[in-house]
Structure 1
Amino acid sequence: MKRFALLLALTAGGAPLFAPAAHAADWPQWQGPNRDAISAEEGLLKQWPKDGPALAWKATDLGGGDSAPAIVDGKIFAMSIRGDDEVVWALSEEDGKELWVSKLSPAYQQRMPQSKEGPGGTPTVDGDLLYVMGMKGNVACLKVADGEIVWQRDLQEDFGGAIPPWSFRESPLIDGDKVIFTPGGDEAMIVALNKKTGETIWQSKMPGAAEAPAEPQEEARPQEGPGRGGRGGRGGRGFGRGPRAGAAYSSAIAIDVDGERQYVQFAAKGLFAVSPEGKPLWRYDAPANGMGINCSTPIYKDGLVFAASAYGTGGGAVKLQKKEDGTYEAEEVYFTSSMQNHHGGMIVHDGALYGGNGGNGGGFLACLDFQTGDVLWRERDAQKGSLTMADDRLYLRTEDGEVVLIEPSREKYLERGRFSQPDRTSSPAWAHPVVANGKLYIRDQGTLYVYDVKAN
Structure 2
Amino acid sequence: MRIINRLAGLPVLLTLVYTFAPADDWPQWRGPERDGKSSESGLLDSWPAAGPKLLWQTDDLGDGYSTPSAAGGIAYVISNKSLAAEEVVALSLSDGSKLWATKIGPVGKNQGPQYPGTRSTPTIDGDKLYALGSDGDLACLDAKSGSIKWSKNLRSDFGGKPGKWAYAESPLIDGDALICSPGGSEATVVALNKSDGKPIWKAPLAQADDAGCSSPVVATIAGTKQYVLFLSKGVVGLKAETGELLWRYTGTSDKDANVQTPVVSGNLVYTGAGRVGGGLVRVSAGESEPEEVYFERTMPSGMGGNILVDGLLFGTSGPTQICIDFETGDIKWQDRGIGAASLCYADGKIFSHGENNDVAVIEATGEGYKELTRFTPPGAPTEVKGKAWTYPIIVDGKLVIRHGGTIWCYDISG
**Does TM, normalized by the shorter one, top 0.5?**
yes
Looking at structure 1, the residues matched to 379 and 115 of structure 2 have their Cα atoms a distance apart, in angstroms, of: 18
Q: C-alpha displacement at 1:109, in angstroms? A: 4.9
Contact 2:64 2:404 in 1 (8 A): yes
5 Å-filtered alignment, 1:267-286, equals 267-276=231-240, 277-286=242-251
Structure 2 SS opposite 1:39: coil
Q: C-alpha displacement at 1:114, in angstroms? A: 4.3
In structure 2, what is the equivalent of residue 40 of structure 1? 39
Q: Supply the AA of the counterpart residue of 1:150.
A: K
Q: C-alpha displacement at 1:341, in angstroms? A: 1.6
In structure 2, what is the equivalent of residue 220 of structure 1? none
Q: Supply the AA of the counterpart residue of 1:268.
A: S
In structure 1, what is the equivalent of residue 48 of structure 2? 49
Q: C-alpha displacement at 1:342, in angstroms? A: 3.0
Looking at structure 2, the residues matched to 355 and 340 of structure 1 have their Cα atoms a distance apart, in angstroms, of: 5
Contact 1:267 1:292 in 2 (8 A): no
Matched, 1:288 2:288: no
In structure 2, what is the equivalent of residue 423 of structure 1? 379
Q: C-alpha displacement at 1:88, in angstroms? A: 0.5
Contact 1:86 1:108 in 2 (8 A): no
Looking at structure 2, the residues matched to 347 and 114 of structure 1 have their Cα atoms a distance apart, in angstroms, of: 29
In structure 2, what is the equivalent of residue 453 of structure 1? 412
Picking from 204, 221, 228, the partner of 1:264 is 228
In structure 1, what is the equivalent of residue 359 of structure 2? 403
Q: Supply the AA of the counterpart residue of 1:305.
A: V
In structure 2, what is the equivalent of residue 342 of structure 1? 302
Deviations 1:271-302 (A, max 9, x none): 0011111111100000102x331001000024
Deviations 1:136-175 (A, max 9, x none): 1111111111011011111111211123222211100001
Structure 2 SS opposite 1:396: strand
In structure 2, what is the equivalent of residue 377 of structure 1? 333
Looking at structure 2, the residues matched to 406 and 365 of structure 1 have their Cα atoms a distance apart, in angstroms, of: 10
Q: C-alpha displacement at 1:310, in angstroms? A: 1.0
In structure 2, what is the equivalent of residue 299 of structure 1? 263
Picking from 299, 321, 327, the partner of 2:284 is 321
Contact 1:300 1:306 in 2 (8 A): yes
Q: Supply the AA of the counterpart residue of 1:337.
A: R
Contact 1:46 1:393 in 2 (8 A): no
Contact 2:102 2:146 in 1 (8 A): yes
Looking at structure 1, the residues matched to 108 and 278 of structure 2 have their Cα atoms a distance apart, in angstroms, of: 32
Assess, with a 3 A threshold, how the Cα gap between structure 1 residues 441 and 110 changes in structure 2: closer, same or farther: farther
Q: Which moved more, 1:347-356 or 1:104-113?
A: 104-113
Q: C-alpha displacement at 1:113, in angstroms? A: 4.4
Deviations 1:28-56 (A, max 9, x none): 00000000000000111122111111111
Q: C-alpha displacement at 1:371, in angstroms? A: 0.5
Q: C-alpha displacement at 1:381, in angstroms? A: 2.9
Looking at structure 2, the residues matched to 111 and 434 of structure 1 have their Cα atoms a distance apart, in angstroms, of: 26
Segments of structure 1 that go 5 or more residues without pairing to the other structure are 1-21, 214-244
Structure 2 SS opposite 1:157: helix
Contact 2:269 2:280 in 1 (8 A): yes
Looking at structure 2, the residues matched to 453 and 442 of structure 1 have their Cα atoms a distance apart, in angstroms, of: 13
Matched, 1:253 2:217: yes
Matched, 1:357 2:321: no
In structure 1, what is the equivalent of residue 62 of structure 2? 63
Structure-1-length-normalised TM-score: 0.82
Looking at structure 2, the residues matched to 114 and 366 of structure 1 have their Cα atoms a distance apart, in angstroms, of: 29
Structure 2 SS opposite 1:322: coil
Q: Supply the AA of the counterpart residue of 1:166.
A: W
Deviations 1:168-227 (A, max 9, x none): 111000011100010111131110000001001111033xx33xx6xxxxxxxxxxxxxx
Segments of structure 2 that go 5 or more residues without pairing to the other structure are 1-20
5 Å-filtered alignment, 1:99-248, equals 99-109=99-109, 111-116=111-116, 118-206=117-205, 209-210=206-207, 245-248=209-212
Looking at structure 1, the residues matched to 168 and 185 of structure 2 have their Cα atoms a distance apart, in angstroms, of: 19
Looking at structure 1, the residues matched to 379 and 114 of structure 2 have their Cα atoms a distance apart, in angstroms, of: 19
Looking at structure 2, the residues matched to 42 and 163 of structure 1 have their Cα atoms a distance apart, in angstroms, of: 39
Q: Supply the AA of the counterpart residue of 1:434.
A: I
In structure 1, what is the equivalent of residue 86 of structure 2? 86
Looking at structure 2, the residues matched to 306 and 381 of structure 1 have their Cα atoms a distance apart, in angstroms, of: 23
Looking at structure 2, the residues matched to 340 and 51 of structure 1 have their Cα atoms a distance apart, in angstroms, of: 29
Aligned residues: 389
Contact 2:54 2:410 in 1 (8 A): yes
Q: Supply the AA of the counterpart residue of 2:216.
A: A
In structure 2, what is the equivalent of residue 3 of structure 1? none
Looking at structure 2, the residues matched to 107 and 23 of structure 1 have their Cα atoms a distance apart, in angstroms, of: 36
Looking at structure 1, the residues matched to 29 and 71 of structure 2 have their Cα atoms a distance apart, in angstroms, of: 12
Structure-2-length-normalised TM-score: 0.91
Contact 2:238 2:245 in 1 (8 A): yes
Contact 1:322 1:329 in 2 (8 A): no
Structure 2 SS opposite 1:46: coil
Contact 1:48 1:417 in 2 (8 A): yes
Percent sequence identity over aligned pairs: 42
* Poorly superposed stretches of 4+, deviation over 4 Å: none
Matched, 1:441 2:400: yes
Structure 2 SS opposite 1:308: strand
Picking from 401, 404, 412, the partner of 2:368 is 412
Coordinate RMSD, CA, aligned: 1.6
